[in-house]
Amino acid sequence: MSTVIYSVTAAFASPEMCDRYIEWLMGGHCRAVIEGGALRADIARLDSDPPSAGSPARHRVQVRYVFASRDTLDRYVREIAPALRAEGVALWGALATFERTVGDVVGSIER
């Protein structure tokens, strides 16, 4: 069985919203996901998307969670995620757009 990556990317209209979101993630949300089955959480402030025709710049934060297996992730999604997602939507739903991706780790190279 390989580990699984579960990523959540949030996009905001301002860098200040990103700061507040990161504080919220570090203030307990990521810990709750870890307690729900993730092995770790990495938080990254992504480079901003430049403004495009008619759209303002987007400021993004990505959290990458590592789960030991697809079964562990599936249990998290079924049993733990609904309440955590509801909290996130209540706090950030009107201020952000979210994208979630999932993938199996097929290799890892370290120094």
pLDDT at 2 over 90: no
pLDDT at 90 over 90: yes
pTM: 0.89
What domains appear along the chain, each with residue ranges and CATH number? 4-104 (3.30.70.100)
CA distance readout (Å), 13 to 39, 63, 83, 94, 96:
31, 18, 25, 11, 8
48 versus 34: the higher-pLDDT residue is 34
25-41 pLDDT, tens per residue? 999 999 999 999 999 99
